[in-house]
Amino acid sequence: MQRFPNLPAALDYAADAHQHQSRKGTTIPYLSHLMGVASLVIEHGGDEDQAIAGLLHDVLEDCGPHHQQPIRDRFGERVSNIVLACTDGVPDARGEKPPWRTRKETYLDHLRHAPEEVLLVSACDKLHNARAIATDLSSGEDVFARFTGGRNGTLWYYRGLAEIFAERLGRQRALVTEIISTVDRVSA
């Protein structure tokens, strides 16, 4: 059985970094998403570094680039590289990111060539997000109003992600199948 001795420290780091954040448009602590992503990574055969990256994948994007060196120092270069590769836009010194569509197009292009270890973490992140969207839609919420891209932009992005994951993560058939079916449910 695989051991994860550094996972508790990563969970603490993620909890501290995201302590005042909640899921978009909800009161659900953001940490629940990070734990869900790490869990999916482990369920789909990821190793400890990938699970840690799952916990930390939004730190740079949501909490700032000043976290990159502490992540590298505490969890290693591989974790830091996966976290950076899963980030679709690090805020600049003023806390601003490029426009939404530009970030998403750049991220999709990046995934077309990203290492498989990055794709697994990214796919688990996007699956967890798509599941949340599907759940909120089934309860009648206008979930797309929460997203900068609106319904059309969000669906365009998730279809693009599903296509890339289907092309690049062939060995992860169950994960890819669930992403595609969840995106199809959200699109209906």
Q: Per-residue pLDDT tens for 30-69?
A: 999 999 999 999 999 999 999 999 999 999 999 999 999 9
Give 141's pLDDT tier (boundaries 50, 70, 90). confident
Question: From CA 77, how far away is CA 61, in angstroms rounded?
Answer: 18
Domains of the chain, with CATH numbers?
7-85 (1.10.3210.10), 100-187 (no CATH)
Cβ neighbourhood burial of 138 (10 Å; 0-12, 13-18, 19+)? exposed
At 55, the amino acid letter reads L
Residue for token digits 């209906």? 188
pTM above 0.85, yes or no: yes
Alpha helices in 7-149 (DSSP H): 7-17, 31-43, 48-56, 59-63, 68-75, 77-85, 100-111, 116-138
- Under a CB-based contact definition with an 8 Å cutoff, are residues 120 and 42 in contact? no
Q: Tell me, what's the pLDDT at 106?
A: 96
User: 59 CB contacts (<8 Å, ≥6 apart)?
Assistant: 13, 14, 17, 18, 67, 71, 83
Residue with tokens 């759940």: 135
Question: What is the pLDDT of the chain when averaged over all its residues?
Answer: 95
